[in-house]
């Protein structure tokens, strides 16, 4: 009965039947799934939905099922970052956004698959095996929030949350043909988000349409005293849903249409920009000259922070524990066994980049380049309200295509990582298809100007049909 | 260029056991990435300050007010290695 | 007198002070009051390093740290941030320690101590804030242990690490410095030195211009003195035999009183410091004037005031001001009785008895010492009885009045009479001779003299008996 549906459609269904029925049908769908998008299905969901039916709930998401990325702490529900090292870990506390979602009446269906510790662009490095792209099961769903994007695309949840360190919400949103937002750094509390690279990442919502993104933001956004980097914002995201882009000044950065871009992607994005022009916006080319250095700077910073963030997984207090003649050997073996190849590579590189003699060459240098990248954006936003680019240079690539070549995988993030370095908001939404595979348009705005991003995205959606297309097997 | 020996040293610093047989393969993969990173050398960053935080926030504090701690069973719930309310680890050296 | 320092001893100290007068830990709301509680009952996701938990800085901890810096005559930094010090150890639940690095909250200070040859300045290099690791207990000895028990109650406690220049020239000066530091910290009310693990010291020791050796984690002032004595002797002997002291870290075995080398692979570090992304910078310089206003009178100032205000000897002023509790106790006493007598009684007598028993001045009531001083100065009891009452109160409890009664105010009266008897017999040898020669009336004269001397406090009958008793015991001539 359920499937690809947005929040208001699910609400209608609940009104016609019950939250329990709706939840049950999602769970049934998940059990039959062949895309391996969930790492844990939460059996308590049914009971929770029944409670809402019986006791009533006036929260904005009352009875709406949701899927949560496996790197967000959920009290009593296994949270593993798709890593062997966290097998068996059941958090004793809820992340801030999980508290907010529960208060809003949302029903957690389960945890979604991801690249191990969010380190990847394909969801292939999960210890549970890859998630498959619902549009073509021979292809990756993107990553690292591949599970969160795939469940929405496959109708296994109407909405979900992921996290975006260097594109991890937007990339899978693009590859799976859904909408995904990376908000401004500091907009959503990271309390309970298991850190990969804390100075870069934000939790972000994924959904079938822009309205649902706004609805989710109204629930999970806002200040939290437990995250020192969380800021006070008073944005009502729903208010930004206006179908009007007249006068909007769009910048189109040439560097984001560089070598390796798929012509179909390029065409779709230009078609989109042209549509904006038809709707009353104007566009101009702009240059962000340090873009080509953003990728290296991003990876150095992310790996450095990761090498420290992942130090706590030492077998002592939770998760996997190996043997060893002393604590240090135990920790070394636990980590050697518990982390996958890519995670180990990034920890080693990050450790190296911070170590005596290399700190200035890599880590400090990367942070200085970060300043230059950020300045590029500051400069551009003096002239433009937003920037538009392809989210990914290509549509979803084939499974295993890039597994053996880490660098090739990193290069796929070229259009998404600069946004995290600068901390600005950006959204990916469907803007076309090529050979049956979705293409994502990325809209970027300045700090705390989610309103512009959402207004542009909403207007585009109101005037196009791309977001209504669904994978063949989702009836 | 990171050497095999440096890989082993970094492995120890990061507490990731690396067998001698793996070190060479690691060195090759890491060097491919480090080589890519070295493109930053060409960026002029003279007089550029590093960006540690993108949000320009300072002075975030908490009042000195006690909040409840977790019960001991919950603290120890995620490990099988415990003794008399303590975590139990192998000896240190 | 000039202290020669023939061995060229240089001692610098790094002192970890727990700001245990805070209600909560440095980065979370867990209570600091864990000392008598079960292991792992004062922890939360933050101080247990659970995945996803984030730190938020305790505002009062920053104020405490600023107070310490200002009391040590330091400059307070304009802007600073916390860094991560990365290393692996089971007491460190996040795999890094959150600490300050390039911009400590306070730097360039000084402390004046009573050195080997008078006042000596010890320069303070820096004082920075950091979090305490958890506590490890080795099952058996550290080298051959069967396992390690970990209690994270201490994890995340606010510490201030105070680093001195190598300005101390003897173990005694090192100890004096620590005593002074503790005194200042207790004056500031940021620290209770009586709690276990409240102050831990690393000592850097060198002789004759050689490399410094770091002795880590010494838990008492006495231990620092002992470790330094041992280390100086060891280094001197080593050099005498042609050795060259190398930079190294040693561990102090408190029981055996020796330092042991700790060289092992586990001790090799490359801390890979970088700014903690989960905490934002702090700018505190503009708060300095406000914090200065909250600073109490410190030991040196109080010592000066005591000599001028109460007219006491500097020796007494020093003894009374080294501990804030004693100083406050004294001032309460001095408000009620003669301040000079109070100085003698509190500094010389009461403090000695307290030290002997290793108890704090909290064990004694102001009204009790006041009563004792009044009894003595009112000539109602002897000084010895005063001391006796102090000892009785400390050992068995009770009040001065009850003790006077129980032990016999009478006995006390008798003491006065006994003293008078002795004096009268010495002062009147002729009357004594007359009595011994058979003149009964001379005894009446002596009784009268005693009663006069004691202002009628003794009755005639008792006095007579005492005189007779004393005369019978006089040595034959």
Predicted local distance difference test score (pLDDT) of residue C414: 65
Catalytic residue chosen out of the listed positions A73, A168, A195, A211: A168
A125 is catalytic: no
Least confident of A175-189, B50-64, C168-182, C239-253: C239-253
Query: Using 50, 70 and 90 to split pLDDT, how confident is the model at A1?
Result: very low
Which domains are delineated in chain B?
1-40 (1.10.20)
List all chains that touch chain B, counting a touch as 3 or more CB pairs closer than 8 Å.
Answer: A, C
Predicted local distance difference test score (pLDDT) of residue A147: 98
Predicted local distance difference test score (pLDDT) of residue C476: 67
Predicted local distance difference test score (pLDDT) of residue A3: 66
Predicted local distance difference test score (pLDDT) of residue C410: 47
Query: Using 50, 70 and 90 to split pLDDT, how confident is the model at C477?
Result: low
Predicted local distance difference test score (pLDDT) of residue C266: 67
Question: Which of B10, B15, B74 is nearest residue A92 as measured by Cβ atoms?
Answer: B74
- C78-136 per-position pLDDT tens digit: 999 999 999 999 999 999 999 999 999 999 999 999 999 999 999 999 999 999 999 99
Q: Which residues contact C67 (CB under 8 A, 6 or more apart)?
A: C188, C190, C291, C294, C295
Residue A386 pLDDT > 50: yes
Percent of chain C exceeding pLDDT 90 equals 71
Query: In the 8-state DSSP scheme, what is residue A393?
Result: S
Give long-range contacts, CB 8 A cutoff, 24+ apart: C301-308: C302/C327, C306/C330, C306/C343
Does residue B82 sit at the A interface (CB-CB below 8 Å)?
no
Measure the CA–CA gap between C124 and C130, rounded to whole angstroms: 17
- A74-94 per-position pLDDT tens digit: 999 999 999 999 999 999 999
* Total count of domains within chain A: 1
C279/chain A closest Cα distance in angstroms? 6
CB contact under 8 Å between C44 and B63, yes or no, is no
Average pLDDT, chain A: 96
CB contact under 8 Å between B89 and A352, yes or no, is no
Does residue C19 sit at the B interface (CB-CB below 8 Å)?
no
Q: What is the CATH number of domain C417-472?
A: 1.10.10.410
Residue C415 pLDDT > 80: no
CB contact under 8 Å between A228 and C277, yes or no, is no
A69 is catalytic: yes
Q: C163 or C145, which is more confident?
A: C163
Residue C472 pLDDT > 90: no
Question: Which of A228, A333, A372 is nearest residue B43 as measured by Cβ atoms?
Answer: A372
Catalytic residue chosen out of the listed positions A33, A83, A126, A144: A144
Domain boundaries, given as residue ranges, for chain C: 10-292, 297-407, 417-472
Q: Are A284 and A417 within 8 A, CB to CB?
A: no
Average pLDDT score over residue span C198-211 = 94
Structural domain range at position A420? 1-475
Taken in order B16, B19, B24, B25, the sign of the CA dihedral is negative
Average pLDDT, chain C: 92
Residue C318 pLDDT > 80: yes
The residue among B38, B40, B74 with the most chain A CBs within 10 A of its CB, best to mutate, is B40
A87: which chain B residues are within 8 Å (Cβ-Cβ)? none
Average pLDDT score over residue span A103-132 = 98
Residue C409 pLDDT > 60: no
Chain C's closest residue to A81, CA to CA, is C51
Residue A155 pLDDT > 60: yes
Predicted local distance difference test score (pLDDT) of residue C181: 97
User: In this structure, how many other beta carbons lie within 10 angstroms of the beta carbon of residue C384?
Assistant: 10
A130/chain B closest Cα distance in angstroms? 22
Measure the CA–CA gap between A201 and C10, rounded to whole angstroms: 49
Does residue B90 sit at the C interface (CB-CB below 8 Å)?
yes
- A419-460 per-position pLDDT tens digit: 999 999 999 999 999 999 999 999 999 999 999 999 999 999
A330: which chain B residues are within 8 Å (Cβ-Cβ)? 89-90
Residue C379 pLDDT > 80: no
Chain C's closest residue to B85, CA to CA, is C39
The residue among B10, B12, B15, B27 with the most chain A CBs within 10 A of its CB, best to mutate, is B15
Q: Which residues in B37-72 are b (16+ Cβ under 10 Å) and which e?
A: beebeebebeebebbbbbbeeeebbbebeeeebbeb
Predicted local distance difference test score (pLDDT) of residue C473: 82
A83 is catalytic: no
Q: What is the largest CA-CA distance in chain A?
A: 70
Measure the CA–CA gap between C470 and C364, rounded to whole angstroms: 39
Residue A362 pLDDT > 80: yes
- B56-88 per-position pLDDT tens digit: 899 999 999 999 999 999 999 999 999 999 999
B53: which chain A residues are within 8 Å (Cβ-Cβ)? 199, 229
A316: which chain B residues are within 8 Å (Cβ-Cβ)? 79, 81, 87, 89
CB contact under 8 Å between C278 and A195, yes or no, is yes
Q: Which residues contact C415 (CB under 8 A, 6 or more apart)?
A: C382, C385
Q: What is the CATH number of the domain that holds A412?
A: 3.90.1300.10
The residue among B10, B49, B93 with the most chain C CBs within 10 A of its CB, best to mutate, is B93
CB contact under 8 Å between C52 and A192, yes or no, is yes
Query: Using 50, 70 and 90 to split pLDDT, how confident is the model at C163?
Result: very high
Q: Which residues in C246-274 are b (16+ Cβ under 10 Å) and which e?
A: eeebbbbeeeeeebeebeeebeeebbbbb
């Amino acid at each position: 009965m359920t499937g690809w549906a947005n929040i208001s459609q699910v609400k209608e269904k609940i009104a016609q039947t019950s939250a329990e029925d709706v939840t049950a049908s999602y769970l049934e769908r998940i059990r039959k799934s062949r895309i391996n998008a969930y790492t844990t299905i939460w059996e308590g969901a049914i009971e929770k939905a029944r409670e809402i039916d019986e006791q009533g709930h006036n929260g904005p998401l009352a009875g709406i099922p949701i899927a949560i990325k496996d790197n967000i702490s959920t009290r009593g529900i296994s949270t593993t970052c798709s890593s062997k090292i966290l097998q068996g870990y059941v958090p004793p506390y809820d992340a801030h956004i999980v508290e907010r979602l529960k208060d809003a009446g949302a029903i957690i269906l389960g945890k979604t698959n991801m690249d191990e510790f969010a380190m990847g662009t394909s969801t292939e490095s999960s210890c549970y095996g890859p998630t498959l792209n619902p549009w073509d099961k021979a292809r990756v769903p993107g990553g690292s929030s591949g599970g969160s994007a795939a469940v929405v695309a496959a109708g296994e949840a109407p909405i979900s949350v992921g996290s975006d360190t260097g594109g991890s919400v937007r990339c899978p949103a693009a590859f799976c043909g859904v909408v995904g937002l990376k908000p401004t750094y500091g907009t959503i509390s990271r309390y309970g988000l298991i850190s990969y690279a804390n100075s870069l990442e934000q939790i972000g919502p994924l959904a079938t349409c822009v309205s649902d993104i706004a609805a989710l933001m109204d629930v999970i956004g806002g200040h939290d005293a437990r995250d020192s980097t969380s800021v006070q914002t008073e944005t009502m995201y729903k208010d930004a849903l206006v179908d009007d882009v007249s006068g909007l000044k769009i910048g189109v950065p040439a560097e984001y249409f560089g070598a390796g871009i798929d012509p179909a992607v390029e065409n779709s994005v230009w078609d989109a920009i042209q549509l904006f022009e038809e709707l009353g916006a104007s566009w101009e080319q702009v240059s962000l000259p340090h873009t080509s250095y953003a990728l290296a700077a991003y990876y150095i910073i992310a790996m450095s922070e990761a090498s420290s963030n992942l130090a706590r997984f030492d077998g002592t207090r939770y998760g996997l524990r190996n043997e060893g003649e002393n604590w240090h050997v135990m920790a070394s073996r636990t980590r050697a066994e518990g982390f996958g190849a890519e995670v180990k590579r990034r920890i080693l590189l990050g450790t190296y980049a911070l170590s005596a003699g290399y700190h200035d060459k890599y880590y400090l240098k990367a942070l200085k380049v970060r300043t230059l990248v950020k300045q590029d954006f500051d400069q551009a936003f003096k002239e433009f309200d937003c920037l538009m680019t392809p989210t990914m240079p290509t549509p979803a690539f084939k499974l295993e295509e890039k597994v053996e070549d880490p660098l090739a995988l990193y290069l796929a993030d070229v259009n998404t990582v600069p946004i995290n370095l600068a901390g600005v908001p950006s959204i990916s939404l469907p803007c076309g298809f090529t050979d049956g595979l979705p293409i994502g348009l990325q809209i970027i705005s300045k700090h705390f100007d989610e309103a512009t991003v959402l207004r542009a995205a909403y207007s585009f959606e109101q005037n196009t049909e791309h977001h209504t297309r669904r994978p063949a097997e989702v009836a | 260029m990171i050497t095999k020996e440096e890989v082993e040293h970094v492995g120890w610093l990061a507490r990731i056991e690396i067998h001698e047989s793996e070190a060479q393969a690691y060195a090759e993969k890491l060097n491919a990435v480090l080589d890519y990173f070295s493109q930053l050398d060409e960026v002029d960053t003279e007089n550029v300050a590093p960006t540690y935080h993108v949000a320009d926030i300072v002075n975030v504090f908490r009042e000195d007010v006690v909040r409840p701690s977790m019960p001991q069973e919950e603290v120890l719930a995620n490990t099988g290695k415990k003794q008399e309310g303590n975590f139990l680890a192998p000896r240190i050296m | 007198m000039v202290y020669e320092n023939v061995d060229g001893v240089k001692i610098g100290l790094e002192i970890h002070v727990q700001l245990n007068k805070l209600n909560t830990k440095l980065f979370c709301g867990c209570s600091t009051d864990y000392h008598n509680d079960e292991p792992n009952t004062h922890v939360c996701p933050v101080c247990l390093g659970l995945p996803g938990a984030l730190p938020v800085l305790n505002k009062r901890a920053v104020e405490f740290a600023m107070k310490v810096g200002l009391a040590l005559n330091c400059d307070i930094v304009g802007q600073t941030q916390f860094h991560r010090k990365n290393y692996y150890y089971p007491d460190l639940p996040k795999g890094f320690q959150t600490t300050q690095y390039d911009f400590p909250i306070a730097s360039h200070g000084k402390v004046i101590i009573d050195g080997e040859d008078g006042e000596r300045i010890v320069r303070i290099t820096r004082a920075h804030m950091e979090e305490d690791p958890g506590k490890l207990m080795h099952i058996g000895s550290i080298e051959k242990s069967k396992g390690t028990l970990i209690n994270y109650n201490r994890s995340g406690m606010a510490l201030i690490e105070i680093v001195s220049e190598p300005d101390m020239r003897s173990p005694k000066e090192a100890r004096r410095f620590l005593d002074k530091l503790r005194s200042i910290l207790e004056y500031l009310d940021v620290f209770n030195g009586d709690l276990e693990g409240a102050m831990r010291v690393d000592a850097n020791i060198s002789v004759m211009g050689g490399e410094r050796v770091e002795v880590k984690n010494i838990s008492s002032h006495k231990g620092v003195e002992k470790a330094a004595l041992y280390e100086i002797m060891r280094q001197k002997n080593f050099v005498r035999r042609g050795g060259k002291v190398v930079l190294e870290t040693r561990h102090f075995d408190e029981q055996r009183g020796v330092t042991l080398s700790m060289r092992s692979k586990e001790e090799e570090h490359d801390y890979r410091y970088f700014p903690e992304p989960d905490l934002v910078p702090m700018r505190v310089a503009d708060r300095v004037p406000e914090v200065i206003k909250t600073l109490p009178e410190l030991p040196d100032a109080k010592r000066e005031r005591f000599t001028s205000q109460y007219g006491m000897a500097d020796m007494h002023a020093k003894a009374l001001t080294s501990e804030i509790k004693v100083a406050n106790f004294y001032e309460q006493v001095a408000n009620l009785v003669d301040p000079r007598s109070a100085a003698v009684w509190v500094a010389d007598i009461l403090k000695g008895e307290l030290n002997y028993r290793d108890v704090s001045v909290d064990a004694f009531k102001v009204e009790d010492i006041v009563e004792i001083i009044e009894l003595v100065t009112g000539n109602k009891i002897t000084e010895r009885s005063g001391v006796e009452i102090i000892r009785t109160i400390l050992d068995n409890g009770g009040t001065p009045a009850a003790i006077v009664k129980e032990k016999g105010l009478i006995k006390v009266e008798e003491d006065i009479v006994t003293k008078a008897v002795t004096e009268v017999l010495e002062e009147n040898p002729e009357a004594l001779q007359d009595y011994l020669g058979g003149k009964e009336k001379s005894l009446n004269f002596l009784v009268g003299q005693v009663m006069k001397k004691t202002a009628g406090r003794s009755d005639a009958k008792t006095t007579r008996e005492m005189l007779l008793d004393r005369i019978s015991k006089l040595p034959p001539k």
